[in-house]
Amino acid sequence: MLALVARATARPCGLLKQMPLNKITGRFQLHQEALPHLPVPPLQQTLDRYLLALQPIISPEELSHTQQLVAEFRKPGGVGERLQKGLERRAKKTENWLSDWWLKTAYLEYRLPVVVHSSPGVVLPKQDFLDRQGQLRFAAKLIEGILDFKTMIDNETLPVEYMGGKPLCMNQYYQILSSCRIPGPKRDSIVNYAKGKKQSRHITVVHNFQFFELDVYNSDGSPLTADQLFIQLEKIWNTSLQTNKEPIGILTTNHRNSWAKAYNNLLKDKTNKESVRAIEKSICTVCLDAPMPRVSDDIYKSRVAAQMLHGGGSRLNSGNRWFDKTLQFIVAEDGSCGLVYEHAPSEGPPIVALLDHVVEFTKKPETGKSPTVHLPMPKKLRFNITPEIKNDIEKAKQNLNIMVEDLDIKVMVFHQFGKGFPKSEKISPDAFIQLALQLAYYRMYSRACATYESASLRMFRLGRTDTIRSTSVDSLKFVQSMDSPDKSDQEKADLLRRATQAHREYTDMAIRGNAIDRHLLGLKLQAIEDLVSMPELFMDTAYAVAMHFNLSTSQVPAKTDCVMCFGPVVPDGYGVCYNPMEEHINFAISAFNSCADTNAARMAHYLEKALLDMRILLQAAPKSKL
């Protein structure tokens, strides 16, 4: 059955080859049903691996304490076994024992603002237009490309992706268009209008903080052409020449509890409610931004990354967004472009696959003539601002501006080599980059830290991610040896190779559903659900250290020469995202200015040096039998 639907040849995650497929209703469901269920890893295996993962990041005394707690937890007939059985029962009853829990824990119940703390951005290469005409032409073509991709989703003709020869879950693709997050007092929710009678037919366009509903289909159901879209965008532009005094979109940048309160208040007014619903229901948002302040070339990309993540503050483009919207494409008058997306429905790779498609589409010449029908004026979405709403906007502005000031972000294009070099050394490029991050961190802080790298669980039905713990006993041995005069180059190179192999082994274990992080989370949530007292294992300092990810990292590969970026997940940490291309690597590194110990540019500097030193080392010391 799977062979019928999974026709693409094996290719890595994130790379989509577009093939003309005919519409077959139910194709997606058939594919999904043939995917395996996420396993619950064996309890003893996870506990052994947990102790191993702690070794490089905690003291021997702490480790010995945790060993006792683990020994208690794993006893035959003990609490560990009871919780494990609960998880196994859950796995039998559900499509995926983890996905609902993960969605709630990682996203919908997370109360910090989505801006910086959760929503990733993508920086696209600068487009070569310099004025409004160019901006609108490009935006029109981009929208046409989005609609082209949407047709594949609607017709269920999206080619199945593969990783390591295994077909991947395609569900996230069906969640990224026509959806929106809704704030709630304790937990948010997501709405989706991709299917059925209420299927969306419009996008939201924002210009000068003013929102418009733009219908993107002709009456015969065909999508508007780029020429038609251009005309519509011009109409929008010409009716929104003045910046709106009340940037209503700023409300979406707030702490989720405050936003939930403000949302209820906002929607008491019928006009406001209709406007908000129109935004929520739309296919996506297209933000026509004012130009960014001019900066020198060396910091340009870092500034664009900040624009994508937060919009630059209440006086720049932050009011030109609705941050709860799953997908927001950003096109500024000066040619800076990219997107920001709300993370709950999807990981980066499907978003970037869509972007790759759209970017390729924008390069195509116009084909065919546009119908000459008169198109109605796009509808302006109006808001009645009461004093209370105005007050909420002011508070949100203040908080946002603090966040904007606090974000330290550096985009680094590492030009000296790309993934070709580690491959030529028979090393996994991802493992090589992760080891470089370990070395950079160790050189800066003389210690190793808990490190998170996202691993895809999409080999399983409704799979999201698990964690590759890049800090290992082997990585620590390597980074400690690197600057040691007592070790020869050959020994150091052998330690580096061994550490990259260990990283690749962890990756393989993670993508096959056998990593430890989601399993430990599952056991903890099972304890909460069973109302048993929280096992000491989860109250232990070592557990808190293991979950305090000073390095939160992710590879998001793309065909386009772009880079995804996101904020750190702890106050004293770094967020590092990278796109390894064949000849160069794009990195986006973030930190918080409020932390005196972190500095994104400094980390970029150490990372660059680590990558170069590791190349020199491997070239100087030939591969020996490990």
Over the window 64 to 103, marking each residue x when it contacts ligand COA by CB under 6 A and - when it does not, the resulting string is: ----------------------------------------
Q: Which two tokens stand for residue 527?
A: 């304890």
**Least spacing, CB of residue 502 vs ligand COA, in Å:** 13
Which span sits near ligand COA by CB under 6 A: 260-268, 309-317, 347-355, 615-623? Answer: 347-355
Over the window 495 to 524, marking each residue x when it contacts ligand COA by CB under 6 A and - when it does not, the resulting string is: ------------x---x-------------
| Residue 451 in the binding site for ligand COA (CB under 6 A) | no
| Residue 307 in the binding site for ligand COA (CB under 6 A) | no
CB 323 within 8 Å of CB 340: yes
Cα dihedral: 254, 285, 347, 93 (round 10): 90
**Least spacing, CB of residue 13 vs ligand COA, in Å:** 5
Give, to the nearest 10 degrees, the angle between helix 517-529 and helix 79-93.
Answer: 100
Over the window 454 to 483, marking each residue x when it contacts ligand COA by CB under 6 A and - when it does not, the resulting string is: xxx--------x--x---------------
Asked if 343 is an active-site residue, the reply is yes
Q: Which is nearer to ligand COA, 200 or 554 (CB)?
A: 554
428 is in an annotated binding site: yes
Binding test (CB under 6 A) with ligand COA, winner from 159, 312, 429, 513: 429
Q: Is 367 exposed, middle or buried (0-12, 13-18, 19+ CB in 10 A)?
A: exposed
**Least spacing, CB of residue 508 vs ligand COA, in Å:** 9
> At residue 241, what is the residue type?
L
**Least spacing, CB of residue 383 vs ligand COA, in Å:** 32
**Least spacing, CB of residue 426 vs ligand COA, in Å:** 4
Which span sits near ligand COA by CB under 6 A: 108-116, 284-292, 475-483, 552-560? Answer: 552-560
**Least spacing, CB of residue 140 vs ligand COA, in Å:** 29
Cα dihedral: 429, 435, 436, 441 (round 10): 150
Q: Which is nearer to ligand COA, 256 or 458 (CB)?
A: 458
Q: Which is nearer to ligand COA, 177 or 216 (CB)?
A: 177
Place of tokens 């050959």: 490
**Least spacing, CB of residue 351 vs ligand COA, in Å:** 8
Q: Which two tokens stand for residue 72?
A: 């208690």
**Least spacing, CB of residue 599 vs ligand COA, in Å:** 24
CB 388 within 8 Å of CB 245: no
456 is in an annotated binding site: yes
Q: Which two tokens stand for residue 477?
A: 């041995």
Give, to the nearest 10 degrees, the angle between helix 79-93 and helix 43-54.
Answer: 120
Q: Which is nearer to ligand COA, 251 or 610 (CB)?
A: 610
Catalytic residue of the set 343, 357, 503, 519: 343
Binding test (CB under 6 A) with ligand COA, winner from 554, 579, 598, 599: 554
| Residue 573 in the binding site for ligand COA (CB under 6 A) | no
| Residue 623 in the binding site for ligand COA (CB under 6 A) | no
CB 330 within 8 Å of CB 565: no
465 is in an annotated binding site: yes
Strand partners, 563: 123
Q: Which two tokens stand for residue 95?
A: 């499509």
- Reference 554, options 13, 152, 162, 76; nearest CA is 13
CB 579 within 8 Å of CB 570: no
Task: Please provide the DSSP assignment of 276-298 as one string.
Answer: HHHHHHSS-EEEEEPPPPP--HH
Q: Which two tokens stand for residue 357?
A: 């498609």
Please state, in angstroms and rounded to a whole number, the distance separating the CA atoms of residues 379 and 381: 6
With residue 618 as reference, give the H or E element that holds it: helix 600-620
423 is in an annotated binding site: yes
Compute how many other C-beta atoms are within 10 angstroms of the C-beta atom of residue 596.
Answer: 8
Q: Which is nearer to ligand COA, 216 or 455 (CB)?
A: 455
**Least spacing, CB of residue 577 vs ligand COA, in Å:** 8
Please state, in angstroms and rounded to a whole number, the distance separating the CA atoms of residues 213 and 203: 6
- Read off the DSSP letter of residue 172: G
* Three-class secondary structure of residue 524 per DSSP: helix
366 is in an annotated binding site: no
Q: Which is nearer to ligand COA, 69 or 468 (CB)?
A: 468
**Rg (Cα) of the chain, in Å, rounded?**
25
Please state, in angstroms and rounded to a whole number, the distance separating the CA atoms of residues 423 and 347: 26
Site for ligand COA in 407-426 (CB under 6 A): 419, 423, 426
Q: Which is nearer to ligand COA, 143 or 509 (CB)?
A: 509
623 is in an annotated binding site: no
Site size toward ligand COA (CB under 6 A) is: 22
Binding test (CB under 6 A) with ligand COA, winner from 324, 342, 430, 474: 430
| Residue 348 in the binding site for ligand COA (CB under 6 A) | yes
**Least spacing, CB of residue 521 vs ligand COA, in Å:** 17
What size, in residues, is the chain?
626
72 is in an annotated binding site: no
Q: Which is nearer to ligand COA, 80 or 120 (CB)?
A: 120
Q: Which is nearer to ligand COA, 363 or 426 (CB)?
A: 426
Q: Which is nearer to ligand COA, 88 or 582 (CB)?
A: 582
504 is in an annotated binding site: yes
- Reference 169, options 518, 514, 511, 460; nearest CA is 460
| Residue 12 in the binding site for ligand COA (CB under 6 A) | yes
CA–CA distances in Å: residue 111 to residues 114, 183, 266, 466: 8, 10, 20, 21
23 is in an annotated binding site: no
Over the window 188 to 227, marking each residue x when it contacts ligand COA by CB under 6 A and - when it does not, the resulting string is: ----------------------------------------
426 is in an annotated binding site: yes
Please state, in angstroms and rounded to a whole number, the distance separating the CA atoms of residues 169 and 2: 12
DSSP 3-state percent helix, strand, coil across the chain (nearest 5): 45, 15, 40
Alpha carbon of residue 395 to chain centroid = 27
Binding test (CB under 6 A) with ligand COA, winner from 555, 579, 590, 598: 555
Q: Is 164 left (phi over 0), alpha (psi -120 to 50) or beta?
A: left
Q: How far apart are the first and last CA of the chain?
A: 43
CB 474 within 8 Å of CB 502: yes
Contacts of 28 (CB under 8 A, 6+ apart): 156, 158, 170, 174
Annotated binding residues, written as ranges, equal 419, 423-430, 452, 454, 456, 465, 504, 555
Annotated binding residues for (R)-carnitine, written as ranges, equal 452, 454, 465
- Contact footprint for ligand COA (CB under 6 A): 12-13, 347-349, 419, 423, 426-430, 454-456, 465, 468, 507, 511, 554-556
- Give the catalytic positions in this structure: 343
Annotated binding residues for CoA, written as ranges, equal 419, 423-430, 456, 504, 555
